Amino acid sequence: MSKGMRVTIGFSDLEKISDYSWRIPRRGAMRVDGILYGSESIIKKVVEERAAEQVMNVATLPGIVGASLAMPDAHWGYGFPIGGVAAFDAEEGVVSPGGVGYDINCGVRMLATRIDADDVVNDLRSLASMLFSRIPSGLGSRGSIKLSRSELLKVAKKGARWAVEQGMGTTEDIEFTEEGGCLEIGDLSMLSDRALQRGTDQVGTLGSGNHFIEIQRVDEIFDQAGADAYGLRRGQLVVMLHSGSRGFGYQICDDFLKTMAREAVRAGIELPDRQLACAPLKSSAAGQYLDAMGAAANYAWANRQVMAHNVREVFAEFFSTSPQSLGMRLVYDVCHNIAKRETHLVDGREQKLVVHRKGATRAFGPGERGVPSRYTAVGQPVLIPGDMGRASYVLSGTKSAMTETFGSSCHGAGRVLSRKAALKLKSSDQVRREMEQRGIAVFSAGKKTLAEEMPEAYKDVDEVVDSVAGAGLAKRVARMVPLAVVKG
């Protein structure tokens, strides 16, 4: 993998803005400053791993607005850092697949229940085993839903609504899904045969890597008003699931990287890293990519909708009652890897932008457009999963995030070890034993997955969330701890 044009930056080159924010002043070809969010120890690691240099590279792209941003979970990625946020003027800017990522609309969905975790502690292994057997997981996993090409295109255009129309969910699910679970898109004739082929049988599947289904207990409430709005209480059993657009989205990204490389040359855009290949938003190539990316995003929302339906079905069978009786309500569904047309205040005036969030999640504050009416007083839920052995969080978006980060926050803990490095540290069997000694039931389809995803491979999510809250980008609402984990 190319590491781009080498630029040199050290921690001493940063300007401290606050205890949780740091500036990389404009220099060289940078069009805007870089802003890094995190504690001093986190930012030192971001600089050491060269993710800060990727922030600087992104700052050179045409039409970038405000600043090139990195969230506290930032680490090295393809072109953009994972944990990177960048907004571009809708007329003068660019769109870059590297600013979205391969797993388009990789995201997290959280279901609340009326179940008390302590009442089912002895049943968790059996419940997780049933989830593992019913929801396909692992590399290349395929589901029971087989889509014709015409039906796949319906999924690509309707998103989560397609699944609800098939009886897999409710209209309330749509209300509590970001963008209603669907981006509006145009013509899809540009989709390759390979992408369409890969999308035929992966709706309702978990996939591999860091994707998961996790049964959790709400361990602590920080903000009672937010918890009441979201329907959360201490001791409650909840379910969090994490997946994306699977092979369909991966293929779309791969297809368009080649197109964007040619478009950047045609437009005369000088790139410090070829992985930042992009196209002017005015170009037909940019329009085609945004439509194709939207199709993948809609596929991901349909995928998570189907999985959530299957989770409800498993719970209903296991507890011999209905999902409604169990109070299985969608708290929220947020996406992580996406470029979206949004309007934000920039220098005191509204400006139409295309906001890239790569390994970052939306964090819209109270009263903002797009926040469900039930949550308007407290802001959008921000779902931040940690590693499978520690904790995850629900936060709420803030007005500060709207002014500082285009309504964005981090999306997780962020890796500190590559998968290769993690495999050298422990075996999957060792990780499994350690997890089960702590009372966490673990199921995994891949032989290496547990080692690759061990807790030590990730930053401490508590420190990451402290940084997000300290910077004012989101407000802590609740903390959850894992009870049972299903991995790909």
Give the active site residues.
411
Q: What are the structure tokens assigned to 348, written together? A: 């005191």
| Ramachandran angles phi, psi of 47, nearest 5° | -70, -45
Cα–Cα distance between 363 and 383 in angstroms, integer?
9
* 3-state SS, residue 13: helix
Residue in this structure with the two tokens 């870059």, named with its chain if needed: 96
Task: Name the CA dihedral angle for 23, 27, 29, 32, rounded to a multiple of 10 degrees.
Answer: 30
| Ramachandran angles phi, psi of 287, nearest 5° | -60, -40
Cα–Cα distance between 203 and 307 in angstroms, integer?
8
Q: Which helix (H) or strand (E) holds 364?
A: none
DSSP state of 80: S
Q: What are the structure tokens assigned to 201, written together? A: 């049988």
Task: Name the CA dihedral angle for 205, 209, 215, 220, rounded to a multiple of 10 degrees.
Answer: -140
Q: Between β-strands 381-384 and 441-444, what pairing exists: parallel, antiparallel or unpaired?
A: unpaired
* 3-state SS, residue 341: strand
Cα–Cα distance between 36 and 30 in angstroms, integer?
15
Cα–Cα distance between 60 and 276 in angstroms, integer?
10
Provide CB contacts within 8 A for 383, sequence distance 6+.
108, 109, 110, 240, 331, 332, 334, 361, 392, 393, 394
Cα–Cα distance between 42 and 24 in angstroms, integer?
15
Q: What are the structure tokens assigned to 27, written together? A: 């220099």
Question: Do residues 42 and 60 make contact, with C-beta atoms less than 8 angstroms apart?
Answer: no
| Ramachandran angles phi, psi of 236, nearest 5° | -75, 145
